């Protein structure tokens, strides 16, 4: 047989085999398609009637017209009213709507009659009318596999009952054996959505992972004017736009940082520092805030182009987390945690209209909530000067093969000389912070809590603290009660560290770095640390770590949820505040605000997602005038002038990190990022910038930041309570404003009200 004939015989044989496989698989494919069509078809009018009870939802066939479907669902009925709002409810599918009486705008939970092209995706066309999205898993599977569904696909049995100023709906997803209650009520002039923890039930074969209430509340089309706001770092904004790509994912961030601890990577996306989100549609807006259960919740933003052409922002409530379980063969498998997180969740929506419909007033609404309901008190008084933020790195160890070397970069006496010199140069108010003041130096934890003899010992630190107090200088001692490194005594890697759901200590690949159990540290802090520090007249302790990480702990002696972990830390802050008069924290997570007299490390940027259009000072607009805050030290930025302008735009205090000696010796330490820190090289610029900020911005230092907007490329305006405007020009040429004011290149101006 010729080579050509053999080749054709081979091709024919392969074709026959493939045809046979297709024929064998065809019935399975047909069944899968039929199942998908059955599950994904939206609710319609030919649903089988469940009886006369209007609280029961009905199924549907997909062939009926939308008008018939709407007729089956019924009309909205008013169930509660306040001075500003009217709450409406539709019994057919439990959809809600909120009417703002001031503007007449109707905020709906179910998207109907809008241009919501889903690119042929029936699942998401149906889901846009959902009252909730739900994620579940089958715990019997060898590894975690989650599935998503929603109220339209599941057609739950619904039972309603009237409550004060609202209605409660019990949902029973009979196919899954999952049930829960959602309550919709008006609380004053706000809508509250509650999911009581004790209402949740699940089956042996379907475990609940998460619920997203009202995922399409206030969703906007590509042709609406406005934007979505989410708390990514400083804050992020995504505008609605008619032309956009298709996105592969949206924004999903756990409030106060990731649910799971990863000590093997230095890469970290920005935290959702506050449990808030918002949407502006035309001349109306809402701000959502998770006021209960925020420790186990996520903020979600989905831009138009992600699965469906609608812009939507909402929250997701977490009821079960996943973890890496160790199998018998030693391999790891992702599994769902056994216990349900049975806690109450509440999401509050406040509504804005007209000139108040912007992200500045969203921030103001949350600020008002923090002050009026969470007891956050202003730490800044009217007329207070802008303080100069001064970090002093005092000591750090260089790790060597035989013996480590302690490097005294700034002794206690040298720290006093720096403070004295700054005062002579006209720096009137300082907020100082000592890093590495213990015998182990900076970044060596647990620190041991004993002042270093090579820096001047306890007597030297006491003399420095007394000088600072007599000079009106706020002096913090920075310490870390979260991190622990193997090789340092003062903790046990078996009993004192965070334990995961797999019953193993949480650590990196090399078992070198650990997180300390918050419960154990709280007890140790109160019994072993606070009292010895009582003799030092310091302003307080600066708590590192607690403001940017939060975690579950399965340590059998000190088990803790994320909320309990945060409670331990805030109790430590409260004890320090009671003893010294103040406390500070690094990172900015919202639970630290109540006991912080100073905030460190507040981000100036977001994570840089492709769908984000602008970074906005959402966090800063919440806390400005309440608590002084600083970001990254100006001497560590590649362009100090640009950093300086960002401080002005976002309302930061001027902030530098100094050493008395040159930073060359730090190159072989764990802190080699401090490449330019010697005081003599930076003091001139630092004092000049401080004096300018204090002179021009002192009048607004204690005021709330009300407005912020982009006037043009590289031109931004920040507005304060009394009408003062600060305009920052990042461009390399002067800019003339519409009112005639000229903003010099790479500079800023302050325009008083009416000016």
What is the spatial distance between Cα 565 and Cα 556, in angstroms, rounded to a whole number? 14
Mean pLDDT of 677-706: 96
For the chain, domains (ranges, CATH) are 77-231+274-373 (2.70.98), 388-702 (3.20.20.80), 708-754 (no CATH)
CB atoms within 10 A of CB 721: 14
Residues 6+ apart with CB under 8 A from 127: 133, 150, 152, 153, 215, 216, 308
Pick the more confident residue, 162 or 29: 162
Q: How many Å apart are CA 634 and CA 180, to the nearest integer? A: 51
Peptide bond preceding 446: is omega within 30 degrees of 0, i.e. cis? yes
Higher-confidence residue of 253 and 267: namely 253
Q: What is the pLDDT of residues 72-89, one digit of tens each?
A: 678 999 999 999 999 999
Extract the tokens encoding 512: 């070198």
pLDDT at position 666 is 73
- Per-residue pLDDT band for 506 (boundaries 50, 70, 90) equals very high
User: Predicted confidence band at 422 (pLDDT cuts at 50, 70, 90)?
Assistant: very high
| Tens digits of residue pLDDT in 272-301 | 999 999 999 999 999 999 999 999 999 999
Tens-place pLDDT, residues 55-69: 333 333 333 434 445
- DSSP code string of 390-404: EEEE-EEEEP-SSS-
Q: What are phi and psi of 176, to 5 degrees?
A: -100, -20
Cα 111–chain centre separation: 27
Q: What is the pLDDT of residues 343-354, one digit of tens each?
A: 999 999 999 999
Confidence of residue 479 (pLDDT cuts 50, 70, 90): very high
**Residue 548: pLDDT above 80?**
yes
Average pLDDT, the chain: 89
pLDDT in tens, 91-137: 999 999 999 999 999 999 988 755 555 554 566 677 889 999 999 99
| β-strand pairing of 474-480 with 226-230 | unpaired
pLDDT of residue 8: 53
Q: Is the pTM of this model over 0.85?
A: yes
Q: What is the CA radius of gyration of the chain?
A: 29
Which among 167, 171, 212 has a CA at the least distance from the CA of 191?
Answer: 167
d(CA 728, CA 648): 8
> If pLDDT is split at 50, 70 and 90, which confidence band does 22 have?
very low
Per-residue model confidence (pLDDT) at position 20: 52
Contact 711, 725 (CB under 8 A): no
Specify the pLDDT at position 134.
97
């Amino acid at each position: 047989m010729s080579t050509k004939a053999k080749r054709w015989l081979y091709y024919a044989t392969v074709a026959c085999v493939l045809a046979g496989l297709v024929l064998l698989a065809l019935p399975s494919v047909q069944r899968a398609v039929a199942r998908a069509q059955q599950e994904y078809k939206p609710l319609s009018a030919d649903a089988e009637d469940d009886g006369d009870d209007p609280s029961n939802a009905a199924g549907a066939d997909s062939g009926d017209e939308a008008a018939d479907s709407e007729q089956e669902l019924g009309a909205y009925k008013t169930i509660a009213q306040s001075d500003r709002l009217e709450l409406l409810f539709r019994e057919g599918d439990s959809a809600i709507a909120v009417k703002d009486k001031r503007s007449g705008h109707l905020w709906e939970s179910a998207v109907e009659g809008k241009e919501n092209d889903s690119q042929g995706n029936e699942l998401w066309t149906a889901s846009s009318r959902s009252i909730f999205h739900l994620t579940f898993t089958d715990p019997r599977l060898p590894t975690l596999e989650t599935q998503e569904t929603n109220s339209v696909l599941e057609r739950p049995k619904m039972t309603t009952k009237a409550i004060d100023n609202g209605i409660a709906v019990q949902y029973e997803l009979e196919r899954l054996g999952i049930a829960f209650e959602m309550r919709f009520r008006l609380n004053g002039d706000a809508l509250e959505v509650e999911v009581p923890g004790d209402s949740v039930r699940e089956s042996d074969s379907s475990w609940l992972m998460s619920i997203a209430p009202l995922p399409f509340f206030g969703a906007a089309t590509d042709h609406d004017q406005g934007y979505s706001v989410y708390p990514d770092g400083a804050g992020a904004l995504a505008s609605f736009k008619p032309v956009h790509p298709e996105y592969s994912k949206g924004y999903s961030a756990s409030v106060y940082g990731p649910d799971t601890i990863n000590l093997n990577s230095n890469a970290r996306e920005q935290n959702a520092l506050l449990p808030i989100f918002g949407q502006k549609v035309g001349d109306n807006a809402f701000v959502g805030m998770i006021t209960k259960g925020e420790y186990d919740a996520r903020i979600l933003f989905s831009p138009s182009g992600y699965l469906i052409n609608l812009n939507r922002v909402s929250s997701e409530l977490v009821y079960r987390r996943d973890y890496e379980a160790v199998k018998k063969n030693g391999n790891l498998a992702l599994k769902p945690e056994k216990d349900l997180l049975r806690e109450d969740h509440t999401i509050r929506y406040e509504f804005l209209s007209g000139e108040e419909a912007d992200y500045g007033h969203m921030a103001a609404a949350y600020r008002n909530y923090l002050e009026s309901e969470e007891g956050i008190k202003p730490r800044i008084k009217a007329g207070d000067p802008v303080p100069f933020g001064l970090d002093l790195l005092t000591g750090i160890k260089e790790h060597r093969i035989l013996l480590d070397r302690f490097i005294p970069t700034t002794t206690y006496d040298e720290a006093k000389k720096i403070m004295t010199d700054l005062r002579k140069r006209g720096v009137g108010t300082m907020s100082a912070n000592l890093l590495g003041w213990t015998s182990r130096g900076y970044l060596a934890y647990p620190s041991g809590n004993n002042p270093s003899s090579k820096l001047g010992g306890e007597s030297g630190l006491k003399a420095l603290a007394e000088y600072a107090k007599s000079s009106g200088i706020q002096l913090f001692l920075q310490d870390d009660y979260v991190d622990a490194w193997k090789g340092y005594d003062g903790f046990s890697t078996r009993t004192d560290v965070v334990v995961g759901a797999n019953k193993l200590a949480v650590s990196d690949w090399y078992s070198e770095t650990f997180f300390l159990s918050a419960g154990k540290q709280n007890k140790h802090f109160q019994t072993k640390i606070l009292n010895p520090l009582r003799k030092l007249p310091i302003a307080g302790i600066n708590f590192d770590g607690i403001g940017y990480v939060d975690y579950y702990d399965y340590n059998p002696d000190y088990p803790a949820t994320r909320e309990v972990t945060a409670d331990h830390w805030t109790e430590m802050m409260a004890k320090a505040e009671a003893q010294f008069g103040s406390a500070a924290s690094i990172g900015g997570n919202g639970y630290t605000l109540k006991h912080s007299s100073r905030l460190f490390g507040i981000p100036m940027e977001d994570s840089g997602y492709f769908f984000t259009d602008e970074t906005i000072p959402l966090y800063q607009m919440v806390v400005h005038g309440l608590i002084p805050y600083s970001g990254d030290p100006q001497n560590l930025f590649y362009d100090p002038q640009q950093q300086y302008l960002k401080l002005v735009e976002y309302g930061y205090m001027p902030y530098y990190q100094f050493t008395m000696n040159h930073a060359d010796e730090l190159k072989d330490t764990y802190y080699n990022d401090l490449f330019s820190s010697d005081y003599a090289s930076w003091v001139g610029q630092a004092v000049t910038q401080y004096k300018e900020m204090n002179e021009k911005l002192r009048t607004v230092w204690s005021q709330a930041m009300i407005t912020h907007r982009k006037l043009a490329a590289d031109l931004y305006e920040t507005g304060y309570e009394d009408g003062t405007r600060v305009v920052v020009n990042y461009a390399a040429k002067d800019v003339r404003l519409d009112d005639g004011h000229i903003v010099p290149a790479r500079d800023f101006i302050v325009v008083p009200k009416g000016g």
